[in-house]
Structure 1
Amino acid sequence: MAKRRYLALVSDAAQTCGVEEFARQTGLRLANRADRHVLDGDIRRLKAALVHADAAILNFPVVAWKKKLAEPVVAALTMRLHRKELIVVLHEWDALDWKRRFVLVPVVMLATRILFSAPEVAAEFAKSPLSALSTRRRGVIPIPPNLALPTRLHDGSVARTLDEQSKAGRLILGQFGSIYPKKQSTAVLEIAARLLALGHDVGVVFVGSFIRGSDNVERDFYALADKLGISGRVAVTGYVAGAEELFGIFKHVDVFCYLFSEGLTARRASVLAASFSGKPVVVNGPQRHDALSHHSLFRKLVDGGAIRLVDTHADADTMAEAVLEATKSNVTSVDATAEVDALWGAVIDALDDERVVPLS
């Protein structure tokens, strides 16, 4: 029996988020079973592309679709009118602004299957009024890291600066990913201040950029660094496009550190990417006992000590102690390429699986 053909719908964003990278990688991993269509405002071209597909895949949220919100709805309607499958992958739910959730209502109601990035997101959706009006064919999929390991490293200006600091004996804390309030990136500033108070020469590098929004994210971030007296020890790289430069920076980080408001969840691809550096990642643990059960790579990294879990409600002092412990411990290496391939195999199996997947 011939397997279904897919249409992977993506945006035309030049600077991509994790959701957009997942959407693009899905099309690439499906190889000759998928066509990739860029939502560029041409509705006629979109309809023509949909005709040749058995199923379309839409990922949400994607920032670049803000100005093209009609297209996902048109894609959803067209697929249903042609009696074809519409698979919606929801990477977030409660974390979205209510206006963004409202925009997703028609698409989610038209979906023939809904896949979630983590059991927490599935549970959030199940509690929403929209759940009762949507398909019961739902499942949870593991989200692979969106970075490929480079064959060589490039030492840019940031990497060279960090190298000089490391050689001078400075402990470098790192965090990879976008900077925004719900991620609690500023907690790393407080952890660095605690370490400094304990007599450790410490610096912090945030490998990513600030997310622009209604909040004064960047202003508040630097105001806190000033208040803590560590502004001269903090670097923010901005968006780094190439894996060679990215991992060139990672090489000079001693410990990566995250303190999430909800604890670690499997949708935190930035944690996975940081762990591929071979450096320890200290993060507060999940709230749910099954948070990582569907994600083989997360489980393996925790078991091998690459990801070091502390209490979900850990404070800055506890995190600082865990950071110091991590600097003295070994990290068990994993075959990152093989593990990522296995995750993508699980994703494709879930896309092909038409059965109802019960969710707890």
Structure 2
Amino acid sequence: MASEPQYRALFLGAGPQMQCGVGQFTRLLGEWIEKAEPGSCTTLTLTRSEGSFTEIWGAVGSARSVVCNFPIVAWKRVMFTPLLAMAMARLRRRKTVLIQHEWAGLHWLRRITYIPALLLANTIVMFSPLVRRELAEDSLVGWTAKKCVLAPLPPNIEAPAGMAASDLRRRLVAARQDGRLVIGHFGSIYPAKQPNALLEIGAILKQRGLRPLIVYVGSFIRGTDNVEEEFHARATELGIADDVIVSGFVASDHEVFGLFGAVDGFCYPLDEGLTARRSSVLACVQAGRPLIVTGPALPDEFDHHARFKELIDRGAIVLVPRGSSADAYADGIVAALKRPPVQAAFDFDGWWQDVANAVRAQL
């Protein structure tokens, strides 16, 4: 007789490579589920040199469920072994739980690599009703949306007790002291986040004599698009090339929040509108600065996420109607900065307990 599996959940990870956003989420989710139920979780490390067929087979057999946040690391360094682990889980009659953050916003080549994971999953955890609808409307795999459940997404990073000084922080502080309007944007820079749209807003603010300095805290994602080249070309065309800073990779949370504390506000003009999966927005809100962003496409986007909805309701996140002009965003920024700051404690642990409970319910 086969022995009872030792663990409730096996998380697929990638060891030290998990410093990317995808891997960071997987690690924290496993830790919070383990806090709620000690001894219930284990992790299988899959890299180019780790994760043999025998190791995967044994690890899958040790747990009742296999949880895969595909791809387990950014892009394609480790792609096929997670799919192999999911296939083994189905063969061994283990439940497979896929965590799916995006769909239509992915490059079509990336969507192709996700299809096997969608097919192998028993349950698909999503964080946004809009993304679930995008999947449902896919002519090839739309039927898999029937396997979707919604969970509340927490921020990946927590505001630390202190902030680290850096040359860039000192530059931003000096700019504000000189009367410049410093607008921040956090996270990886790629087409779906419409990085060039913020440039248009910056140009309008400059025309109004507000002397903006637009700082992108993050770096460009390498892909098949010429995002970085087009970004800098557009900044030059608008006459604000000297008013734009791209930080590149920032090594520590202390340094990230040091930069957050040196901006006047954040702005995210998003073509798809704000969705409940935007963890970069949640990271920014912790800094206590106003955040101006495009309103959601769906009226029920935050119905499953009470904490996110509460941030909007109390004005920490200011919504600009979809389809608004760049002038409307500039107006929103100016108006938000005139209001008293919205200060409130951010219950980081509570956010993670919520998502851990939602995923635990699927195991």
Could you tell me the TM-score, scaled by structure 2's length?
0.91
Residue in 1 that maps onto 2:141: 130
Residue in 2 that maps onto 1:347: 355
Residue in 2 that maps onto 1:238: 248
Percent of aligned pairs sharing the same letter: 38
For the pair 1:204 / 2:225, whether they are aligned, the reply is no
Shift of 1:23: 1.1
For the pair 1:255 / 2:265, whether they are aligned, the reply is yes
Determine helix, strand or coil for the equivalent of 1:166: helix
Contact between 1:61 and 1:90, CA under 8 Å: does it hold in 2? no
**One of 56, 61, 86 as aligned partner of 1:46:** 56
**One of 13, 18, 22 as aligned partner of 1:19:** 22
Residue in 1 that maps onto 2:345: 335
CA–CA distance in 1 between the matches of 2:72 and 2:210?
Answer: 40
Q: 1:253-332 maps to which residues of 2 (within 5 A)?
A: 253-332=263-342
**One of 31, 35, 49 as aligned partner of 2:42:** 35
Residue in 1 that maps onto 2:121: 111
CA–CA distance in 2 between the matches of 1:16 and 1:181?
Answer: 22
Determine helix, strand or coil for the equivalent of 2:257: helix
Determine helix, strand or coil for the equivalent of 1:77: helix
Shift of 1:88: 0.4
CA–CA distance in 1 between the matches of 2:77 and 2:6?
Answer: 34
**One of 134, 143, 161 as aligned partner of 1:151:** 161
Determine helix, strand or coil for the equivalent of 1:76: helix
1:307-326 deviation per Cα after TM superposition (whole angstroms, max 9, x unaligned): 00011111110000110011
Shift of 1:333: 2.4
Question: Structure 1 residues 93 and 259 mapped into 2: Cα distance closer, same or farther (>3 Å)?
Answer: same
Per mean C-alpha deviation after superposition, the further-off stretch among 230-239 and 64-73 is: 64-73
For the pair 1:93 / 2:103, whether they are aligned, the reply is yes
CA–CA distance in 1 between the matches of 2:124 and 2:321?
Answer: 31
CA–CA distance in 1 between the matches of 2:200 and 2:236?
Answer: 11
Shift of 1:90: 0.8
Shift of 1:16: 3.8
Residue identity in the other structure for 2:216: F
For the pair 1:76 / 2:86, whether they are aligned, the reply is yes
1:181-237 deviation per Cα after TM superposition (whole angstroms, max 9, x unaligned): 221111111111101101112111100001111111111111111111111111111
Residue in 2 that maps onto 1:358: none
Q: 1:173-212 maps to which residues of 2 (within 5 A)?
A: 173-212=183-222
CA–CA distance in 2 between the matches of 1:159 and 1:56?
Answer: 42
Shift of 1:49: 2.0
1:231-260 deviation per Cα after TM superposition (whole angstroms, max 9, x unaligned): 111111101121110000011100100100
For the pair 1:121 / 2:131, whether they are aligned, the reply is yes
1:71-95 deviation per Cα after TM superposition (whole angstroms, max 9, x unaligned): 1221111111221111001101112
Contact between 2:152 and 2:305, CA under 8 Å: does it hold in 1? yes
Determine helix, strand or coil for the equivalent of 1:292: coil
CA–CA distance in 1 between the matches of 2:171 and 2:159?
Answer: 22
- Tell me the matched-pair count: 351
1:79-130 deviation per Cα after TM superposition (whole angstroms, max 9, x unaligned): 1122111100110111222232222222221211111121111111122232
CA–CA distance in 2 between the matches of 1:227 and 1:136?
Answer: 46
Residue in 2 that maps onto 1:8: 11
Contact between 2:33 and 2:360, CA under 8 Å: does it hold in 1? no
What 5-or-longer segments of structure 2 have no aligned partner?
none
Shift of 1:61: 4.3
Contact between 2:187 and 2:280, CA under 8 Å: does it hold in 1? yes
Determine helix, strand or coil for the equivalent of 2:76: helix
Contact between 1:8 and 1:26, CA under 8 Å: does it hold in 2? no
- Over aligned residues, Cα RMSD in angstroms? 2.0
Question: Structure 1 residues 99 and 227 mapped into 2: Cα distance closer, same or farther (>3 Å)?
Answer: closer
CA–CA distance in 2 between the matches of 1:58 and 1:291?
Answer: 24
Determine helix, strand or coil for the equivalent of 2:30: helix
CA–CA distance in 1 between the matches of 2:145 and 2:92?
Answer: 18
What 5-or-longer segments of structure 1 have no aligned partner?
356-360
CA–CA distance in 1 between the matches of 2:265 and 2:155?
Answer: 19
Could you tell me the TM-score, scaled by structure 1's length?
0.92
